[in-house]
Amino acid sequence: MPPNPSAADAAPEMQATPAFSPLYQQIKGLILQSLQSGEWKPGEAIPSEMDLAARFRVSQGTVRKAIDELAAENLVMRRQGKGTFVATHAEQHVQYRFLKLVPDAGDLDSEGPAQRTVLECRRVRAPAEVARALALRTGDAVVQARRVLAFGGVPTIVEDLWLPGNAFKGLSAEQMADFQGPTYAMFELEFGIRMVRAQEKIRAVAADAQQAQLLKVAPGTPLLSVERVAYTYNDTPMELRRGLYRTDTHHYRNELS
């Protein structure tokens, strides 16, 4: 096994870049490399600040500042008295990190998990717009899935998902339907893919006949259209998701800071 990279080892390459990078940012980059390579899996503890400082030959304070930024970006989680762990979508408080639709009364926890009905899951050739969103070539293999999410027995969201075929080889409708936790947790556990951030486009649309039937609303009912591209480490797109949301009993909530 090759020796672990140190900040000193990384310095020549980083000096070649025109912009100066503070030392803690260099350490953050090295930790990110280990996360991306799967050295530490979602939910696992990473080495202590003292061990990382020795590994990278820097001060403990420099490591702490790097980890502070990773924690602020929801890539790792600090647990008082236990250490720092790789963030995972299986954690209760981050299960709904990318789901912004909340009930008008109560919250997502009181509402309980969504009931999922997977209508299809198949391998297809990527159309141009899907390939563009996932940084693939037109015609590359993708997994396409469609499902309906219901809350309290009421169909509330219909979603179409496209995933890179190579990364999600073997994904089936049964697997998506049977997994008890969040879908992104299943992606982590079954395929080793962790979604770390997402971008969304939101617009208002009217339900067509098929969408209305799936959501049990009248054709022409106003819906919220949410198109999301989710990324794993290194800004690699790993999912295109298009959802149509009912907002008669729910609303879209986002926190800005």
* pLDDT, tens only, 33-88: 888 777 888 888 999 999 999 999 999 999 999 999 888 887 888 888 888 988 87
Within a 10 A sphere around the Cβ of 255, how many other Cβ atoms? 5
Please give the average per-residue pLDDT across 194-209, as a whole number: 93
CA separation for the pair 236, 229 (Å, rounded): 10
Using an 8 Å Cβ cutoff, are 146 and 119 in contact? Answer: yes
Domain ranges of the chain: 7-86, 93-252
Whether the per-residue pLDDT at 168 is higher than 90: the answer is yes
What is the length of the chain? Answer: 257
Task: Please give the CATH topology (third level) of the domain spanning 7-86.
Answer: Arc Repressor Mutant, subunit A (1.10.10)
pTM (two decimals):
0.74
- 185 band by pLDDT with thresholds 50, 70 and 90: confident
Please give the average per-residue pLDDT across 19-42, as a whole number: 84
CATH number attached to the domain at 93-252: 3.40.1410.10
